[in-house]
A and B are shown apart, each in its own frame.
Chain A
Amino acid sequence: MDRLPLISTSPQIHAPGSTRKVMLWVLAALTPAGIWSVVLFGLHAAIVIAASVAASVLTEGLLNLAFKRNNTLDDLSAVVTGVLIGFNMPPEIPVFIPVVAAVFAISVVKWSFGGLGANWMNPALAGRVFVFFSWGTDMTSWTLPGIGGVDAVSGPTPLGSLKVAMSSLSPGIDGPMRLLESAGIPTTYTDMFLGKMAGSLGEMSALLLLIGALVLIIIKVVDWEIPLTYLGSFALFMWAFDGLQYGGGLFSGDVLFHLFAGGLMLGALFMATDMVTSPLTRKGRIVFGIGCGFLTFVIRRYGNLPEGVSLAIIFMNILVPLINRFTKTKRYGVSS
């Protein structure tokens, strides 16, 4: 015999999946939204995403090298973190900011806790929040996308405008769409759904993000519980309570506007679903999703910040061990 047969403990066969394949699928699902951002904002979008990917990969590689750890770059998780950081940046961001975010995300949030699987907070989100509070002006300078030869011009995001306009709410305005119109920045649901609005690079098109996520759910890389309960509970709370501030009654909130505005889709479909920082069981993921939806609603509706997705997910990340403790599976032959 040319080689000795393998000696291993059972099981002797294995399902086709691997960590690398999981990450590859996630990257594939993010690709359309990435291409769309380049179409909308030009080459600078590509540079931002490429820089944060390069910074993530280099940071992890160098740390592994410096501390003589095994090479972990092959699992591609650093690439996913890099892409997500890039996706969370405003279009005109100076390139050093996503690089700082990536270095912070990989070195502090991911690597120092033990690398992939050991971090308790989504690294990409932590990186985003870190630079958000460090370079607030750069992180909130938005650009309206330019398509078909039209140059991109600076302009606020729908949610940002909303918070500003809300302070001078005049009677007769029955919802966010009318409010934006009166503030001189009208938009349509279709434009928001397709991504023709100001926003972070990757959050532009709800449509493309939904398609990518749907593929991941169908091939069972991502479970449906978190996206559905996150979006569902958020929509429910918005529908029930958001109308009140426009003088409407309960159950008169503009659900479509809030679903398509801001980073909700990107967060609910690709950040909250991060396996490492979400609960272990389906039951737990439902609790987690509802929590994310509720907190996003609370921050957006009552908070100072226009957004809320990042902070909501990070807060729920912290609760994951607790959720795991209370959502264990029912064991065979053990009465509870």
Chain B
Amino acid sequence: MKKFRSFARGGIHPPGNKGYTSDKPIRNAPLPATAVVPFSQHIGAPSKPLVAPGDHVEEAQMIGEPAGFISASVHSPIPGVVKEITSIYLPSGMKTEAAVIELDGEFSRLGKTHEDRDWVSMENTEILEILKNHGVVGQGGATFPSHVKFSVPKGRTCEVFLVNAAECEPYLSADHRVMLENTEDIIEGIRIIRKLLSPKRVIIGIEANKPDAIEVLKAAGEPEGIEIMPLKVKYPQGAEKNLIEATIGREVPSGKLPIEVGVINANVGTLVSVCEALRDDKPVIERVVTISGGAIAHPANIRVRVGSSIRDLIEECGGLTEEPAKFISGGPMMGFTFSNLDSPVIKGTSGILALTDKEVKHFAPTACLSCGRCIESCPMGLSPTTIFKNIEHERLDEATAYGLDDCVLCGSCAYACPAHIPLVSAFKAARGRKRRLSVRNKG
């Protein structure tokens, strides 16, 4: 067997369950009659609303502008009338203002494709401005505004542009399908980023369980000097720091960003958005979402407008076959459970899962056996049990010394723990507590 590259420490092998959807071509969801468009779909400051109730908006019209350095713009996915600006909770638990838009009027963009705008002769600042005005954010899950990410800080150079095509989360196949069906858009996106960053190398890191995607990317990318690196199927191969380790063998120093080791990376979905923003003058108003899980009648990959309700999407996939134990936004390892099916799809929604009891294996926690499975599975070389015990004893400084802040929240430890101890939950809570304490101490 061929030996693929991988990260060195830990990692787990949860059942992939990608077979539900990986061979299902992307199909378009019906356009929503009502779109709920949050003003905060990204990391950073929420965008500033540009519309008020009663306003008429065009399809793809900017309705929220960036309100700060790290912020992104938001566009209307459908033409219509703004009914109200209201407060909603996203599946992640975040509270945000959202515009409720009722469909009305003509779709001006729908069906239009390649505009072939000339971006080659543009200045870099102009390209970044377009990314900013078209609401491009990272679509791997973190939703970091792209115009910030692709601005190399002064005194730094981007040596490697790393494309994250690992898609290591179980069930999800949206990126996989995008690679197969939008190959040219991805390559065009890479060309644009190449112009922006002028990296020495462009590497696509992809898990070896997608041989068809590896093949098409090789055919399209290798002539342009893009390296396609098949990686071992091991979770979390697509975690930023581990992907850097797996592909180029460098470790991002604790507490630093990837640019520290000369790397900037992006998810394949983000590259499609970059391409569409520059080439087609199209803002991010839709994305591909995997709808899957044992309780979904007909799992599928669907291209859907931002702001569509999750309930409609599940209906589009034939509804539920049984009461699911959990609804999840994102993948099962790092995604969020939610109960409100009227929540909207946002730019960062990679998947909607409805999992059965058999799939989630939910147990009440028992005492820690010190078996070391968590240490064995941690891709960051941490001792989750030690961090957890320090948190339990309110020793946040000790927990930090043991690497609380280096944890990437991948969930490998909690997945493997035979005592079902909610390790990730404790780490998230402890970090929140640390933040609040530091704010209070400053004040």
Contact = CB atoms under 8 A, between A and B. Distances in A.
A333 B361 contact: no
Interface string A261-299: 000000000000001111111100000000000000000
B147 interface: no
The majority secondary structure among interface residues of chain A is loop
A307 B416 CA distance: 38
A8 B9 CA distance: 27
Nearest to B9: A332
Interface residues of A, number: 45
A5 B325 contact: yes
B438 to A, nearest CB: 21
Contacts of A10: 332-336, 409, 411, 414, 424
Contacts of B146: none
A118 interface: yes
Contact of A19 (B170, B332, B419): B419
Contacts of A335: 253
Contacts of A281: 372, 375, 383
Contacts of B44: none
Interface in A284-336: 328-335
Interface string B214-252: 000000000000000000000000000110010000011
Contacts of A14: 360-363, 414-415, 420
Nearest to A329: B381
B368 interface: yes
Contact of A12 (B253, B360, B369): B360
Nearest to B376: A282
A6 B369 contact: no
Nearest to B415: A11
B361 A16 contact: yes
A218 interface: no
Given A9-B425, A329-B375, A19 B418 contact: yes
Contact of A333 (B170, B253, B334, B376): B253
A116 B382 contact: no
A11 B363 contact: no
7 tightest A-B CB contacts, nearest first? A11-B411, A9-B425, A117-B367, A17-B418, A275-B371, A331-B381, A14-B361
Given A8-B326, A332-B242, A334-B253, 17 more contacts: A6-B325, A9-B422, A10-B334, A12-B328, A12-B335, A13-B170, A14-B361, A14-B414, A19-B366, A75-B367, A117-B368, A280-B372, A329-B9, A331-B254, A332-B381, A333-B256, A334-B406
Interface of B: 9, 12, 14, 170, 241-242, 245, 251-254, 256, 323-328, 332-339, 353, 355, 359-363, 366-372, 375-376, 378-383, 385-386, 403, 406, 409, 411-412, 414-416, 418-420, 422, 424-425, 428
